[in-house]
Structure 1
Amino acid sequence: MKKNWLVASVLLVFTLGIQASEQKLPEHWFGEDPNSTITIDYSDWDYVLQASVLLSGPPSRELASEDRGSIGTRMKNKYNVKTINAGNKFFYERFRKTPELKATVSTIRDSLQKVPAEVQLNQLKNDEQLAYWLNLYNVVVVDEINKVYPQKKLEDFVTDDDGLLERKTVTVEGVALSLNDIQHKVLKVKFNKDPLTLYGMYQGYIGSPSIRKHAYTGDNVRRTLTANAFDFINSNRGTYPAGKEFLVANFYKRNADYFPDFKADLSAHLKEYLSGSDQYSLDNAKKMVAKIDDWTVTDIYGSNQNFGGSVADSSAALLGAFSQIGGPPETSEIANTELLSSALQSRATDYGRFSPELMLRLKELKLRNEQSRGTVTVKDLKEESEQN
């Protein structure tokens, strides 16, 4: 009896310790000002993405060519021909070779974590807040993958108990967060389990939603998420008609709480974006099976070992003639990363996300809010400043 009491006491103390270590999220993370005109500047992150993301083009069911190996060797790269070309790619190899570029991403990450200390999130519109959390999430993913690249397969790195999604890698207003905390404790709660938000959380592997060639903003976040959903669902990494079965990504199974009646709710969701012929395949399949996975890192060529020849033998290495920064966002190819290195590093050392005038106004509002102990509703700052 005494032994059982001791075990129970230890478990109680342990449970209470875990609960005590869980910090309560600030209430203002879950409010909004629908009239707000405050926007967050992501020029630095946008610059990185336009310089480093290679667009995969429209989603396709075509299979990739198999690697036949180089002359003089029987060694070949192994990859899934159904999914290897799916989704946008990121130029991790250049970041591996250019420490100042890696440092720039870390600087952007630190800067984004400080945004809610400059302006309370409930002083922003909901779409502006959604863009903020998605950009922060994706910057952290790129920054963390930079630390382990050229690791090719990311399943353990992402899903381990102390992996990318579970580690407390973010601190916002003194609250330590994991990427799963951002998804499940912030976004899922604030946006009522909206499945569309899933497509904004890039996780670094082919079987996850794509990283985009521009930063999310309050103005573009909804249409960009819709485009990402269409891309994912109509590519082989998201769904695949297979006769009597309709295959879907395990990504959906890992996020099954967004689809309480998994088959019915997921089917209805997929039909919003699937092409006509694939909708027919889904309707006529005898069962839906979650079995698609591709944990390959979404780099351009660096993790594909080149057997028996120089790097110039690699078809991916023939991406050589990259265009300069400045083309239309979603159309230009990868930019000259040497140019990116010098130009961005000088800009992002101490990046300000609000104008000096707005920062002064936000400090005044914060002080007024603290003095009144009430809630400040931010009106049209431009209009108000003109009146003053």
Structure 2
Amino acid sequence: MPAIAADETHVPTPFRGDDPASILSIRYDDLSQVLEAVVLEAGRSDRSRGSRAQPAAASHIIRASNSHYSLEGNRVMFSAFEEDRNLAVLIAIRKSLEAVPDTLPLKMLSRDEQLAYWLNLYNVTVIEQIATIYPETRLKRHYSGSRSIWDQKILKVAGVPLSLNDIHHKILVPKYRNPLVMYGLFQGFAGGPNIRPEAFEGPRVMAQLTDNAEEFVNSNRGMHRRDRLMKVSHLYEVNRDLFPNWDADLRRHLRRYADDVYQERVKSASRFAPSITNYGIADIYNGYKGRGTSVSTNPAALLGAIRSAGDDGTSAEGHFGPTSYVANDGAVFAAGVTPYLQGQSQYGGRFPIHVVEYLKTIEERRRSGKEGEVSVEEIGSSSPE
């Protein structure tokens, strides 16, 4: 089908246009530092599901999950932002991004630089908004209605009041008309595209989005088949404007990023049902930081079970040493979070069982050495593939 040209007619005036020859770029070192500290990468999904949910010892509260989605997708340590100084850093970064167009009109940037800017502003705002309601675990009620964090005009960019939905549907979708954009928009819940442990950057934003697309499409969160019916994430319905010929466009798009097995399953699917949802918070603790006992609930407790960068992770007693910290505008963040995790026996009783299983699964994936491939797509390719 013919490519669908971007239409900026209804994009707010300050955000129209771009400069293809621009050599200007925005640096996001501070945001990347924060994301590296609080985002735990899960690796590519193996389409496994959580074990049968059981209550914790001496408790009737069930905190595990046997859903299709509990063992995949990156997680954020939202509990770190219960520390006021850490939240202040996040707010400061959001405000600094919000103010960029006051001194550097976005039309002076290339399309890729603008895209990275909007994705980063969107994501840091989502994390900030969810941090203010944490440790609430079910986010659905915050995503609709008069007090929806998605519809409130919580930002002002170049003098224009904006909501998160404005950035998504009134700027990014009409300006880019590329389905890859949806994979860069963190939703805060476990059923959505991954938040990366790094900021988006103009020169490689398309490679970063392609990586997110491949992870999501090849996960249970993105799609899974039941008989000939292909169940897909409801986020494809939310982004339906990017798939105007729904069946053909979505089928082609999914086949482009699916692995060999699912390419065939997508090809032979009778229809697509955008019914996959999981509004549970994409938090490492799922809002539960303890097990109802006296175990540690310190926001940095989880980092004690993760090796820090440049450190073999051991102390004289054979346990992980103290977490490293770095200063950032007067606040501290746990630094150097890496995917090297302790074995299950070393977790002890420190974390709820759903956290233990999630971390153990990540560890096993990493030991398997499986890596995904990343391809690059030019943003100028605007057909809904």
User: Normalised by the size of structure 2, how large is the TM-score?
Assistant: 0.75
Residue 40 of structure 1: aligned partner: 26
Aligned twin of 1:139: 124
Aligned equivalents of 2:330, 2:164: Cα separation in 1: 29
Query: 2:32 is matched by which residue type in structure 1?
Result: D
Can you give the 5+ residue segments of structure 2 that lack an aligned partner in the other structure?
A: 1-9, 312-320, 333-385
2:164 aligns to what?
Answer: 179
CA distance in 2, matches of 1:210, 1:277: 22
2:145 is aligned to 160
Letter in 1 for 2:55: G
| Counterpart AA for 1:46 | S
- Quote the residue 1:230 is aligned against: 214
In 1, distance between residues paired with 2:56 and 2:242? 45
Residues in 2 aligned to 1:184 and 1:336: alpha-carbon distance in whole angstroms? 44
| 3-state secondary structure, aligned to 1:303 | coil
CA distance in 1, matches of 2:230, 2:12: 42
More displaced 10-residue stretch of structure 1: 28-37 or 106-115: 28-37
Please name the residue that 2:85 is paired with: 100
Correspondent of 1:324 among 308, 316, 324: 308
Aligned residue number for residue 46 of structure 2? 60
8 Å CA contact 2:50–2:65 kept in 1: the answer is no
- Residue number in structure 2 paired with 1:339: 325
Partner letter of residue 150 of structure 2? L
Which of 90, 108, 124 is the equivalent residue of 1:123?
A: 108
Q: Is the 8 A contact 1:324 1:336 kept in 2?
A: no
Contact in 2 for aligned 1:86/1:235 (Cα 8 Å)? yes
Structure of larger gyration radius: 1
Look up the equivalent residue of 1:202 and give its one-letter code.
Answer: F
1:86 partner amino acid: E
How far the C-alpha of 1:166 sits from its partner, in A, is 0.8
Q: Partner amino acid for 2:75?
A: K
Partner letter of residue 93 of structure 1? Answer: S
Q: State the shift of 1:132 in Å.
A: 0.3
Moved over 6 A (4+): 335-338
Residues 207, 251 of structure 1: 8 Å contact kept? no
**Residues 129 and 64 (structure 1), Cα distance of their counterparts in 2 relative to 1, 3 Å cut:** same
Secondary structure, aligned partner of 2:54:
coil
Q: Matches of 1:336 and 1:194 in 2, distance apart?
A: 44
Give 1:195-344 correspondences, 5 Å limit.
Answer: 195-301=179-285, 303-304=287-288, 306-311=290-295, 320-324=304-308, 339-340=325-326, 343-344=327-328
Question: For the structure 1 residues 119 and 252, does the alpha-carbon distance in structure 2 shift closer, same or farther, using more than 3 Å as the test?
Answer: same
Structure 1 residue runs of 5 or longer lacking an equivalent are 1-23, 328-334, 349-388
Distance 1:69 1:78 in 2: 8
Count of residue correspondences: 312
Letter of the structure 1 residue corresponding to residue 224 of structure 2 = Y
CA contact (8 A) 2:14 2:158 kept: no
Task: Assess if the C-alpha contact under 8 Å between 2:18 and 2:108 holds in 1.
Answer: yes
| Residues 248, 302 of structure 1: alpha-carbon distance in 2 compared, 3 angstrom cutoff | closer
Deviation of 1:317 after TM superposition, in Å, equals 6.7
Percent identity between the aligned chains?
A: 37
CA distance in 2 between counterparts of 1:178 and 1:149 reads 20
Give the aligned partner of residue 77 of structure 2: 91
User: RMSD value over aligned CA atoms?
Assistant: 2.5
Say if 1:318 and 1:171 are closer, same or farther in 2 by CA, change over 3 A: closer
**TM-score between both structures, scaled by the size of structure 1:** 0.75
